[in-house]
Amino acid sequence: MKKMLLLIIVCMAATVIAWDETTVKLTVVTPGESNTDAPSDAIVLFDGTNLDNWVSEKEGRPANWKVENGYMEMVPGAGAIQTRQTFSSCQLHVEWAAPYMPDKQSQARGNSGVFLMSRYEMQVLDNYENDTYAIGYAGAVYGQSPPLVNACRKPTEWQAYDIIFHAPVFEDGECVKPATITALLNGVLVQDHFELLGPTVWRAEAEYSPHPEKMPLQLQDHGDRVRYRNIWIRPLDD
């Protein structure tokens, strides 16, 4: 009994945090005019005017998605596009809209994806009154983690992802700290600090392999005319 009491006291002592009222000056970040606007320290990747910050995934050729009316639209067959800059851990805001495809079902309706570090996919899909398999819903870490809920708006309406991503850590060729994703879809929590099993794969078991510390953000061409707008990112220090 005495040993148990001593153990409890030791554990309690270990959790005590030293109180410190020293005045400090934090970095000031000016928020955007609304919660969807880029804050002052964000890198704006797409402001609705051009694709200067993007290239095709095909050997770095110019990105040839359509740009009009403040959005970019995937052109079937054009291929995925990716940022010129490379990123690691980040806070990411992306707005997207799926086309109206009432004759299609499941994965064939408004399909695309946001790939962190060109490898780790947050699914984009029209799931308004359109059910599919759990790990394929909008809000899913595709192939790995279903969203907590279906928070999709109607097709053609703008939807918003807010994603906190922490990159994996590799040592001596091994993953010693897996990547994590916390994500909100239209302001609703859909991923809660999920530890990724590895990069996105289709009908296979995900497995980590070493890759550069920074890689491009990528938007997928899945054949549907999905639109994107207002994309900004805040690199995070781990």
Residues 138-151 have pLDDT tens digits of 999 999 999 999 99
pLDDT at position 205 is: 87
Domains, the chain, with CATH or none = 46-235 (2.60.120.560)
Q: For the chain, which residues score pLDDT lower than 70?
A: 1-16
pLDDT at position 14 is: 56
pLDDT at position 8 is: 52
> Quick check: helix, strand or coil at residue 108?
helix
| DSSP structure string for 120-182 | EEEEE---TT----GGGSTTSBTTTB--SS-----TTS-EEEEEEEE--EEETTEEEE--EEE
